[in-house]
Amino acid sequence: MHAFSDSTTATSTAVQVPPSLSLPVIETAFPRQLHPYWPRLQEKTRAWLLEKRLMPADKVEEHADGLCYTDLMAGYYMGAPDNVLQTIADFSAWFFAWDDRHDRDIVHHRPAAWRRLRFRLHAALDSPEDHLHHQDPLVAGFADSVGRLYAFLPGTWNARFARHFHLVIEAYDQEFRNRVEGRIPTVEEYLELRRLTFAHSIWTDLLEPSAGTELPDSVRNHPSFRRAALLSQDFAAWYNDLCSFPKEVAGAEVHNLGISLIAHKGLTLEETVAEVRRRVEECVADFLVAEREVLRFADSLADGTPRGREISAAVRACAGNMRNWFSSVYWFHHESGRYRVDSWDDRSTPPYVTNEAAGEL
C-alpha cells in the first residue's frame, strides 16, 4: 500500500509500506507531527557528526540525511526547547553510530576493542568533562552529548540517567557475548534484554528535559505513567524487530524477537511475522487505554497550586510525546536508509558504516 507520510526528507514522496508492515491504525489515529526546528536540527546534527568524526565525510554527505536520524527525534520530542532537541538529536545520532561500531566489532572479531570501548563509555558517563578530547571519536562524542544533557535538569536527573545508561552499556555487552557465541536468547530473556538494548528508560528519561521539568519519583513511578511509557517503547522495539528482521537474518544476528520465536517456540517464518505483528498491534491498542489513564492522572495532579499545575502540564506533555513516538518510529522505518536491505550491494554490510578495522584505538 502507499502511505503519504508527509516525509521530512528533502524530496517529499509517497512512501510504500509493505502490507506485512502496514499499520493502518498508526496512519489514521496517530497524526504525525514535526518539531518546527527540524530543518536546522538536520543541518546542525550533520555538522556535529563531521566535527566529532563519528562518520567519515563521504558517508555523511551520501547517507546522513537519508538515514533520517533527526526526523525520528523531531517527530518525538515535540515542545522541547531547540537546544534540548538539538542535544537529544546529537545523542541519538551518536547512539546509532555506537550501535554500528558494536556490530562491526562483532563481525570483525574485535572483542578487545569492544571491551576497551565499554569501559571507556562507563567512565565518560560518570565524568564527561574528562573525556571530551578522547582519541576515540565515539568516546569523545558520547562525552560531549551527555555533558550537554546534564546541563538541563538537576543532578538527581543526571544520576538517574547515568544509572540507566550504565545498564544499557552492560546489556550491549551481553548482546556482544550472545552473538559471538551464537547464542539465541529465549523469548523471555530476549524481551528483558531488549528493553535495555533499546534503551527504554533513556528515551523516557529524555521526555523530562523536553517538558522542562524533572518529574517526582511518585509521578514517574505511578502505574499509569509507567505503563504508557513502557507500551510506547515496547512498540518501538518490536516494530523495529519486525522491520529489521531481513537485515538481521542477513547479518547472522541472534538478537531479534522473530529469531527467538523461531529458535525456541518452533514457529515458521510466516507464523513468526504474524506473532511479532500481533504483539506490535497489541501495544498500540493497550496504549490507547493507558493514554486515557495517564491523562486522568495528569488532571488529578492539578491541585490548584503552581507546582501542581506545572507537574500536571509536564505529565501531559510527556504523554503527548509517548503518543508521538508511535508515528515517528513507524515512518522512520519506512523512510530511513537504515532498513533498505534490498538496495545494499551486500545485505550483511550496511553502506553507511565504516567497515574497515575501526575501534582499535
List residues with catalytic annotation.
Answer: 95-96, 198, 338
Which are the contacts of 339, defined by CB distance < 8 A and separation ≥ 6? Answer: 243, 244, 247, 333
User: Within a 13 Å sphere around the CA of 242, how many CA atoms are in the beta-carbon half?
Assistant: 29
Provide the 10 A C-beta neighbour count for residue 327: 22
* Main-chain phi, psi angles of 11, to 5 degrees: -115, 95
CB-facing half-sphere around the CA of 123: CA atoms within 13 A: 13
For residue 190, count CB atoms less than 10 angstroms from its CB and return exposed for 0-12, middle for 13-18, buried for 19 or more: buried
C-alpha distances out from residue 152 to 41, 148, 212, 226, 229, Å: 18, 8, 8, 22, 21
Candidates 200, 232, 222, 226; CA nearest to 322 is 232
Q: How far is 114 from 172, CA to CA, in rounded Å?
A: 10
Give Dmax over CA atoms of the chain in angstroms.
61
CA 175 – CA 287 distance, rounded (Å) = 28
In angstroms, the CA 25 to CA 285 distance is 9
* Dihedral angle over CA of 47, 51, 56, 59, nearest 10: -10
